[in-house]
Each structure stands twice: as structure tokens, then as C-alpha cells.
């Protein structure tokens, strides 16, 4: 959903795409697939990740 509207529906393995994540969240990401069942796993692009702070 975006602004109260459904922008995609269906099997997540088919509808969760990098383009959809970019449209909904303004985030560059890679979509991987879980080995067990193929569920989409959204991984933010390296440039979108906040810098890590040394502990």
C-alpha cells in the first residue's frame, strides 16, 4: 500500500521486486530469495545502508 492504495497484490515471490521497493520506500535494494521456500528477502543496496560505527 502507498497513500492508502493497493499498489501490488499476489504471491510475494512474484510481486516483491526492486522496482516495487523503490516506488514504495524510495530505497534501492536487491531482492534475494530464501532457500527454504523462495520468499523474498529485501537487502538494501550498499549505498543505502547507514555507516557502521566502531564499537
pLDDT at 27: 93
The C-alpha cell 516506488 sits at: 23
Is the pTM higher than 0.85? The answer reads no
Indicate whether 49 pLDDT > 60.
Answer: no
Which residues are CB-neighbours of 40 under 8 A, at least 6 positions away? 12, 13, 16, 31, 32, 33, 34
Domain limits, the chain: 12-47
C-alpha dist (Å) from residue 10 to 7, 15, 39, 53: 11, 6, 13, 39
Q: Report, as an integer, the average pLDDT of 27-40.
A: 96
Of 13-22, 31-40, 45-54, minimum mean pLDDT range: 45-54
Q: Give me the phi and psi of 15, to 5 degrees please.
A: -100, -20
Amino acid at each position: 500500500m502507498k497513500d492508502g492504495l493497493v499498489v501490488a497484490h499476489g504471491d510475494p515471490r512474484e510481486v516483491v521486486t526492486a522496482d516495487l521497493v523503490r516506488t514504495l520506500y524510495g530505497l534501492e535494494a536487491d531482492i534475494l530469495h530464501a532457500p527454504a521456500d523462495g520468499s523474498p528477502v529485501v537487502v538494501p543496496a550498499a549505498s543505502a545502508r547507514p555507516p557502521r560505527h566502531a564499537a
